[in-house]
Chain A
Amino acid sequence: ADALADITARGTLRVAVPQDFPPFGSVGTDMAPMGYDIDVANLIAEKLGVKAELVPVTSANRVPYLQTNKVDLVISSLGKNAEREKVIDFSAAYAPFFNGVFAPADLSIAKAEDLAGKSIGVTRGAVEDLELTKIAPADATIKRYEDNNGTISAFLSGQVDTIATGNVVAAAILAKNPPKRPEMKFLIKNSPCYIGLNKEQAALLEKVNAIIAAAKTDGSLNAISQKWLGADLPSDL
């Protein structure tokens, strides 16, 4: 079946979005999803001329939602790797990854190699998990938590020395004035986020890529980045 045709016929775009991974996806006081990924979902739906239907997902079930055709797109800050690419297709990058490794001031860390002997908390399956697994030295311990909240709680309760997360999240932690004030040690580079689609949906893939490209040029994606990440889109995205 042609997914794009289905979407147009249906008049809705069903998108899997996170609700436990700020700033990409979390909830407001009315429990409605909000965040970078949600805004992108709405943007794409708008450009397709259909309504967006947001399906909140977790890291464990976001891809099964796609595989069983319960959603058309997964906009859930997906990172890309070879194994994942065997199973689903990825669009062009739609979000930069401003996530970094954070730790209290008294820990001297400047690059991945300095993580030796340290423990790092990450959210399982997130981009930083994939990246850090690649670049962290062998004797660094990566602790993978279910969601962002687990990662942050582990850091605040001292269960890990450092965490990898977004700068906006780190700012939110700082605002709560914890005893361990996280400061950015280094940025995890070159690992943007992609939109996930089912394989063999060339029409939809092409359309989504076109929308992303347009949004990059007309500044609407940059606005989303400013709003949620507090920074401009990097030029190389």
Chain B
Amino acid sequence: MITFTLWDILRNLLLATRWTILLSLVSFIGGGAVGLALLFLRISKRKAFRVIAKYYIELFQGTPLLMQLFIAFFGLGLFGIDVPAWLAAGLALTLWSAAFLAEIWRGCVEAVAKGQWEASASLGMGRLQQMRYVILPQALRVAIPPTVGFSVQIVKGTALTSIIGFVELSKAGTVVTNATFQPFTVYGLVALIYFALCWPLSKSSQILERKLNVAHRNH
């Protein structure tokens, strides 16, 4: 048996954490971009667009992320499309987080008073201009806390990419445990690292929210 020192365990977990962070960033940035596009569809004037976006969101929010990853990687492979694992992971995580972000942001856009749409329309702005100059800047303020809050779910969600071969934090935990038979030490450390990644995000989301509420009350 090879013996792992505590440092060996921690080092390997931290190395794997790089994947967790990288995948989170990809998922967040990609999901943000696709989510924004999806948001436009979801609140479009055209019913067809709204319906498409609605079903998309329903599908991606209604199935386990694990399966989405599996299908993105192996499902496409079945059809002879050889997607590398990083692409499949990026794709699935992006599509998945886009569904959630679009829905979060829709709530924020709808929170902007109807009068703002009407006032900007009566000034001759087109729909995109209204969004760009009037609605989004206001929605953005309320959107920041729940968006940051959701990033915690993304960080935890990346754990599932192990199904397509990524040895990120969770998977590294399992693998190391299987070599060391010290589940407590290893999972304790894993939990700690996740907490260290997620807690600052949750906390800043809460602080932002509180700031926002105070700002609201001052109006």
| Chain A residues engaging chain B, CB cutoff 8 angstroms | 19-22, 26-29, 31, 34, 55-58, 60-61, 64-65, 67-70, 147-149, 152-153, 172-173, 175-176
Q: Are B77 and A153 in contact (CB under 8 A)?
A: no
B30-82 residues at the A interface, CB under 8 angstroms: 70, 74, 77-78, 82
Q: Are A29 and B164 in contact (CB under 8 A)?
A: no
Give A31's nearest chain B residue, CB to CB.
Answer: B12
Q: Mark B127-151, 1 if CB is under 8 A from A, else 0.
A: 0000000000000000000000000
Residues of B within 8 A of A58 (CB): 162-163
Q: With A58-B163, A61-B164 as given contacts, are A175 and B1 in contact (CB-CB < 8 Å)? A: yes
Q: Are A20 and B165 in contact (CB under 8 A)?
A: no
Residue picked from A19, A31, A153, A176, most chain B C-beta under 10 Å: A31
Q: Are A22 and B165 in contact (CB under 8 A)?
A: no
CA A58 – CA B174 in complex, angstroms? Answer: 11
Residues of B within 8 A of A60 (CB): 163
Give A168's nearest chain B residue, CB to CB.
Answer: B1
> Would you call B22 an interface residue if the criterion is a C-beta within 8 Å of the partner chain's C-beta atoms?
no
Q: Are B74 and A22 in contact (CB under 8 A)?
A: no
CA A52 – CA B5 in complex, angstroms? Answer: 29
Q: Mark B173-194, 1 if CB is under 8 A from A, else 0.
A: 0111111010100000000000
B3-26 residues at the A interface, CB under 8 angstroms: 4-5, 8, 12, 15
Q: With A61-B74, A69-B77, A148-B178 as given contacts, are A29 and B2 in contact (CB-CB < 8 Å)? A: yes
Q: Are A176 and B164 in contact (CB under 8 A)?
A: no
> Would you call B172 an interface residue if the criterion is a C-beta within 8 Å of the partner chain's C-beta atoms?
yes
Q: Are B179 and A28 in contact (CB under 8 A)?
A: yes
Could you name 10 residue pairs across A and B whose Cβ atoms are closer than 8 Å? A26-B178, A27-B175, A29-B4, A31-B167, A31-B172, A56-B175, A60-B163, A68-B77, A68-B78, A149-B183
Q: Shortest Cβ distance from B1 into chain A, in angstroms?
A: 5
Q: Which of A27, A152, A172 contacts B1 (CB 8 A)?
A: A172
Residues of B within 8 A of A65 (CB): 74
Q: Mark B152-170, 1 if CB is under 8 A from A, else 0.
A: 0000000000111101000
CA A63 – CA B12 in complex, angstroms? Answer: 27
Residues of B within 8 A of A67 (CB): 74, 77-78
Q: Shortest Cβ distance from B119 into chain A, in angstroms?
A: 55
Q: Which of A55, A57, A70, A147 contacts B178 (CB 8 A)?
A: A147
Q: With A29-B2, A31-B15, A152-B181 as given contacts, are A20 and B175 in contact (CB-CB < 8 Å)? A: yes
Q: Are B181 and A26 in contact (CB under 8 A)?
A: no
Q: Are B70 and A61 in contact (CB under 8 A)?
A: yes
Residues of A within 8 A of B172 (CB): 31
Residues of B within 8 A of A149 (CB): 174, 177-178, 181, 183
Q: Which of A27, A61, A64, A176 contacts B179 (CB 8 A)?
A: A27
Residues of A within 8 A of B163 (CB): 58, 60-61
Give B3's nearest chain A residue, CB to CB.
Answer: A29
Residues of A within 8 A of B1 (CB): 172, 175
CA A29 – CA B179 in complex, angstroms? Answer: 9
Q: Are A31 and B178 in contact (CB under 8 A)?
A: no
CA A151 – CA B4 in complex, angstroms? Answer: 20
Q: Are A55 and B78 in contact (CB under 8 A)?
A: no
CA A26 – CA B2 in complex, angstroms? Answer: 10
Q: Shortest Cβ distance from B216 into chain A, in angstroms?
A: 47
Q: Are B165 and A57 in contact (CB under 8 A)?
A: yes
Residues of B within 8 A of A64 (CB): 70, 74, 77
Q: Are A56 and B165 in contact (CB under 8 A)?
A: yes
Q: Are A172 and B176 in contact (CB under 8 A)?
A: no
Q: Are B178 and A19 in contact (CB under 8 A)?
A: yes
